[in-house]
């Protein structure tokens, strides 16, 4: 009979002291087990409040939430509690007047999020702005708030106009009036806190300026492919006709008007994303024949304007040059600008450049969309929300359809083009991407009949895009519902955030040395990401994602960028991260980035060599199985070694006995 060596007993002793359930399975049970979208309730938030912004207010790298109470004056921050899987109230501000919009941002370049609050002025044709400085210990300084010069009713947007990594504002000044672009240049000097935060200047724009629409879909996003954010503007001629302007960023030479044109009749809010995964930012927007007083668009169409510019070269050895002319982008040089990029908005004659299809082709029971939230005054535009919910690398969309008094949120997946798929050629199946409504596992969305807005977010930073549905409360089920995305997709993701270089990318300090913190959470509007990746069949593709391109009218965009990678057996080949810094190299190239991770980029205004990168790995759900497999393999190997050891010991004993009985006859 063989005995287990004492060196192996320690592996079994802990099991004797575990409760019965833990002795069988030592890992904690899953919070959600169903392969579907799951209602998670209000998760600790005031059920009657309105969520107006996202941000990492306590710098713990978890997404927090800012709400506005029914009085439209009380702002409350809710921080995320990872252990209890819930939000908890952190700080509240009672603003002296009605709140129109809130933009979280590090306006004082201290590594803390401040709050820029916009309110209607007494003249009703202006917007007053107030900045509540963030405190190192948490919360905001409501006693020493900073007054910011007013704007017109077209809400200004944050942008780093002069490339110093400080947040400026761009819009129209209340003094100069409509039709005159204005720059709120950030001149904050911490050593002189009594000096004004912004200096009003004429922006360095070269071209014919338009009058900004209100509401608008203005954005800071890279449209010519050089990883340097440009400016997209929606204009109004005063007669209800909308047009657009694209101003290309030339760094120290300012912005140059590159493209302009009319928008189709009935155009609603515009969203930006790389729809066909070709490494360029496209535009998606609905058009409706008319909009009723309750914000419902009738006879609506969905429009996709694809960005036409240089594509990805077929091989890494291809320089992309033909007779000195750039015809494609090499995989290791994605940030090459294309001065000939263009959008053919409204031109359906060009194959694939502009796609337009009726809403009823996706939703046979409805031809109407909710395009404005009239429960808030003035009404808020409701864009089509884009996000990669199934991690296949192609953005999906959220839309609220209207049927009578029912307002139902819907998740629509982006799918490959085949015959009969919406958005593709009806007979040939040609096209870039098709669209299909999610029907299985989305019952929680179908049961909602009073939605007023929807948005994507990642609850608990677990690598899946969840859904926030804000409701009118008419059905008596509250006004906030979080929907957990618990679908299992055999694919990878990446999360990234570019910070603003505060505190020289090191530790920040408060009023004394004990108040030390890292500048996490201070997202940088206008950052851009481009990457290449190989799928399981070895096909290389490129994609582009913008960071926080829109902040106006409760846009509810997350401070980080989230993008699915699809199925891959490899690392991310090249990840280009661009900013609006006015240095020779405004971007960096990171090679071999690990999927299912979070990348934090701390840029510098000097050169790309001084940028810092931090990568945080997320333990996946497979970690317990890997641990179990490793432990099982160790037991198996231990048994094999034990058996071989005992066999060897027995053979040695037999050989010793035979040797002891051997008689040396030569010695006799």
Listing DSSP states for 3-28 in one string gives ---HHHHTTTGGGGGS-HHHHH--SP
Can you read off the two tokens belonging to residue 8?
A: 């192996």
What CATH number labels 36-498?
A: 2.130.10.10
CA distances, 286 to each of 381, 406, 425 (Å): 11, 19, 20
Q: Of 271, 272, 480, 452, which is closest to residue 372 (Cα–Cα)?
A: 452
Rounded Cα distance between 231 and 203, Å, is: 12
List strand residue ranges (DSSP E) for 510-602, in order.
Answer: 516-517, 528-534, 540-546, 561-566, 572-578, 587-593, 597-602
Tell me if residue 618 falls in helix, strand or coil. coil
DSSP annotation of 366 reads: -
> What is the predicted pLDDT for the residue at 619?
64
Would you state the structure tokens that stand for residue 667, as one six-digit string?
């010695």
In this prediction, the residues of the chain whose per-residue pLDDT falls under 70 are 1-30, 349, 351, 426-428, 513, 619-623, 661-668
Q: What angle do CA 359, 363, 368 make, to 5 degrees?
A: 50
Distance of CA 42 to the CA centre of its chain: 21
- Model pLDDT, residue 32: 76
Half-sphere exposure for 274 (CA within 13 Å, toward CB): 30
- Given a contact cutoff of 8 angstroms between Cβ atoms, the answer to whether 363 and 437 are in contact is yes
Give phi and psi for 193, each to the nearest 5. -65, -15
- State how far the Cα of 312 lies from the Cα of 338, in Å rounded to an integer: 12
Cis previous bond, 378, omega within 30 = yes
Are 529 and 155 in contact by the 8 Å Cβ rule? The answer is no
pTM, two decimals, is: 0.90
Contact indicator for 408, 448 with CB cutoff of 8 Å:
yes
Q: Where are the alpha helices (DSSP H) in 216-319?
A: none
Distance, in Å, from the CA atom of 98 to the CA atom of 100, rounded to the nearest integer, reads 7
Instruction: Tell me the C-alpha distance between 556 and 68, whole Å.
Output: 13
Q: Are strands 296-305 and 372-373 parallel, antiparallel or unpaired?
A: unpaired
Which residue shows structure tokens 């030390």?
A: 516
Domain boundaries, the chain: 36-498, 502-622
Query: Beta strand pairing status for 311-312 and 328-329?
Result: parallel
- Give the pLDDT of residue 10: 41
Is 501 in contact with 604 (CB distance < 8 Å)? yes
Q: Phi first, then psi: give them for residue 399, nearest 5 degrees.
A: -145, 150
Check: CB of residue 178 under 8 Å from CB of residue 167. Answer: no
């Amino acid at each position: 009979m063989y005995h287990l060596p004492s060196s192996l007993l320690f592996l079994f002793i802990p099991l004797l002291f575990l409760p019965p359930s833990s002795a069988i399975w030592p890992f904690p049970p899953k919070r959600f087990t169903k392969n579907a979208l799951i209602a998670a309730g209000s998760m600790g938030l005031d059920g009657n409040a309105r969520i107006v912004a996202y941000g990492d207010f306590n710098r713990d790298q978890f997404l927090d939430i800012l709400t506005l109470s029914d009085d439209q004056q009380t702002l409350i921050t809710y921080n995320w509690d990872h252990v209890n899987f819930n939000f908890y109230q952190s700080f509240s501000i009672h603003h002296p007047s009605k709140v129109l919009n809130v933009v979280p941002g590090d306006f004082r370049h201290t590594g803390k999020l401040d709050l820029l609050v916009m309110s209607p002025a007494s003249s009703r044709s202006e917007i007053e702005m107030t900045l509540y400085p963030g405190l190192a210990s948490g919360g905001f300084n409501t006693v020493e708030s900073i007054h910011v010069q007013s704007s017109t009713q077209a809400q200004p947007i944050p942008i780093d106009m002069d490339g110093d990594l400080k947040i400026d504002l761009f819009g129209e000044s209340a003094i100069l009036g409509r039709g005159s672009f204005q720059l709120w240049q950030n001149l904050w000097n911490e050593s002189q806190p009594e000096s004004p935060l912004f200096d009003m200047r004429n922006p360095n724009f070269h071209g014919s300026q338009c009058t900004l629409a209100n509401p608008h879909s203005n954005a800071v996003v890279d449209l010519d492919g050089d990883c340097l954010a440009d400016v997209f503007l929606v204009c109004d001629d005063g007669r209800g006709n909308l047009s657009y302007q694209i101003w290309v960023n030339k760094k120290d030479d300012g912005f140059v008007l590159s493209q302009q044109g009319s928008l189709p009749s009935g155009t609603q809010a515009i969203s930006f994303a790389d729809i066909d995964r070709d490494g360029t930012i496209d535009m998606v927007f609905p058009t409706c024949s008319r909009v009723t007083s309750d914000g419902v668009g009738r006879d609506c169409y969905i429009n996709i304007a694809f960005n036409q510019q240089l594509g990805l070269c077929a091989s890494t050895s291809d320089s992309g040059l033909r007779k000195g002319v750039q015809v494609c982008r090499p995989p290791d040089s994605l940030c090459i600008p294309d001065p000939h990029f263009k959008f053919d908005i409204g031109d359906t004659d060009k194959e694939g450049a502009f796609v337009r299809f009726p809403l009823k082709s996706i939703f046979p029971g409805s031809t109407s969309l909710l395009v404005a939230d009239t429960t808030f005054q003035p009404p808020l535009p409701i864009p089509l929300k884009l996000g990669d919910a199934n991690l296949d690398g192609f953005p999906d969309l959220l839309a609220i359809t209207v049927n009578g008094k029912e307002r139902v949120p819907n998740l629509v997946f982006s799918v490959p083009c085949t015959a009969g798929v919406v958005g593709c050629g009806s007979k040939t199946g040609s096209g870039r991407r098709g669209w299909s409504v999610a029907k299985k596992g989305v019952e929680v969305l179908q049961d909602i009949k009073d939605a007023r807005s929807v948005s994507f977010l990642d609850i608990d930073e677990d690598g899946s895009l969840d859904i926030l549905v804000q409701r009118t409360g008419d059905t008596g089920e509250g006004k906030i519902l979080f929907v957990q995305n618990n679908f299992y997709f055999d694919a990878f993701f990446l999360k990234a955030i570019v910070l603003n270089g505060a505190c020289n990318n090191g530790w920040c300090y408060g009023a004394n040395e004990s108040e030390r913190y890292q500048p996490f959470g201070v997202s940088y509007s206008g950052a851009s990401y481009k990457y290449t990746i190989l799928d399981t069949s070895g096909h290389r593709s490129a994609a582009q994602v913008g960071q926080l391109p829109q902040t106006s009218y409760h846009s509810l965009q997350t401070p980080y960028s989230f993008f699915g990678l699809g199925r891959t057996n490899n690392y991310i080949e090249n990840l280009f991260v661009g900013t609006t810094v006015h240095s020779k190299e405004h971007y960096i190239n990171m090679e071999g980035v690990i999927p299912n991770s979070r990348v934090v980029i701390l840029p510098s205004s000097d050169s790309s060599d001084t940028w810092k990168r931090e990568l945080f790995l997320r333990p996946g759900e497979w970690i317990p199985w890997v641990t179990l497999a490793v432990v099982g393999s160790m037991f198996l190997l231990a048994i094999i070694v034990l058996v071989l050891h005992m066999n060897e010991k027995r053979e040695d004993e037999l050989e010793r006995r035979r040797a002891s009985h051997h008689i040396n006859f030569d010695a006799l």
